[in-house]
Amino acid sequence: MIFLKNVWNGLYLHRWFFYLGAGVIFLFITAFFLPALFLPVRFLLFGWITLTLLDIILLFRENGLYAKRKLPEKMSNGDQNQIDIIVENRYNFKIDTELIDEIPIEFQFREFYYYQKIRAGQTSIFNYSLRPVFRGVVSFGKVYVYVSSPLRMVKRRYAFDEKADISVFPSFVQMKKYELMAFSHKLFQHGLKKVRKLGHTMEFEKIKEYVAGDDFRTVNWKATAKSSKLMVNQYQDEKSQSVYCILDKGRVMKMPFDGLSLLDYAINACLVVTNVVLRKQDYVGFFSFSRKVENRVVPDRRSTQMQRIMEALYNVKTDFYESDYGRLYGEIKKNIPHRSLLLLFTNFETLDGLNRQLPYLKAIAKNHLLIVVFFHNTELDILIKSETDDTQQIFDKIIAEKFVFEKKLIVSELRKYGIQSILSKPEDLTINTINKYLEIKSRGMI
């Protein structure tokens, strides 16, 4: 009974079954007109049925296949995440496998299909990558494997109940990548600007022997005279300074680039910068705002701060309203009493949009070091560089150039009032923000 139930639930006819069956039926019909073919056709029909039954027995007499999906603990937003499916052949003959995985509907990946031959007793690993462009929980369904024997008459379907939920977090892959780059001072090797160190802070650390490359202006002549060796003073960046990542989650941050919204680019950058700030032993805090201030994390530098900020970033959702900068100013005035570095991730498309919020930004910049981080629209660059064939395209190109120029005017307007800014392409946002933070640390501006 169990055997028949397995056959009923998992039997699929292979295309070779239909090819051979069609040939046999054609010969069977022909035999009515040519009686001499009747006996050979009977043998062919008997052989066709025998091969089919034998194939069913080979595939269904035992559970000869095992498969398991191997998922990461969490997925990284905007990055390629590898998924492995382990398939073990427990039959005593070579099999053909066709693998179908029920990928979460959020990925809209509808053509997943793998085919591979697996020898007897062999284990094979199928792997593929998924790039989420959202945050939240996704659900994987079952893993289906269709197995054919060397006879290739029927197929057996195996369904492995590998249903699993997995959370998509802000890009922790970028966090690890840029952490190594930031502390090895190799940011400039990736086609990015090198951090200019215009000086150093005067927080003394130790006296050490001079090596090639040390600043000769830091030579300690008293220590040199005592030790008969050239000695220099070594300084370190000041610590325990407060840094806040402030995230605008209004409707201006919903614009998509390469699948990710500006909000998700900013969230990924916040996570990476938070990690670098904590490694520099500064205090880091976070909050988001739109019509009201939410997702608040008070500044700290304990080991648990990274996890707290990651969970806060995971829960940030846009509300599609226009952001209230007056409320933002009130929040900063009330809860941040001492001078801090404020990294404000937002977006301004026009100079008029900036002028509406400029009074609040100027008021914030009086007591804090404010850096406004906003986005360069790379789609406009494509439009500007494209060839023009008619009057409408010329008008579109001129308007695109106007918007690009307005972005530069926004930078100049902010600089006029002592407000620093970062105008960045979405894909370069993380590295440009890290560069700015390291530059400010090296200048001792906080």
Q: Tell me: the pLDDT tens digits for 122-142? A: 999 999 999 999 899 999 999
Question: Does residue 107 register a pLDDT over 80?
Answer: yes
CATH of domain 65-169: 2.60.40.10
Q: Tell me: the pLDDT tens digits for 80-105? A: 999 999 999 999 999 999 999 999 99
Please give the torsion angle defined by the CA atoms of residues 396, 356, 410 and 412, in that order, rounded to the nearest 10 degrees.
150
CB atoms within 10 A of CB 333: 12
CATH of 172-198+237-443, one of 3.40.1710.10, 3.40.50.2300, 3.40.250.10, 3.40.50.410: 3.40.50.410
Question: Does residue 48 register a pLDDT over 60?
Answer: yes
Please tell me the least confidently modeled range out of 74-83, 175-184, 195-204: 195-204
Q: Which tokens is 152 given?
A: 């290739």
Residues 6+ apart with CB under 8 A from 329: 360, 363, 364
Q: In which band, very low, low, confident or very high, does the pLDDT at 195 lie, cut at 50, 70 and 90?
A: very low
How many CA atoms are closer than 13 Å to the CA of 175, on its beta-carbon side?
23
**Which residue is it, tokens 């053509």?**
111
The pLDDT, as a whole number, for residue 189 is 45
Q: In which band, very low, low, confident or very high, does the pLDDT at 110 lie, cut at 50, 70 and 90?
A: confident
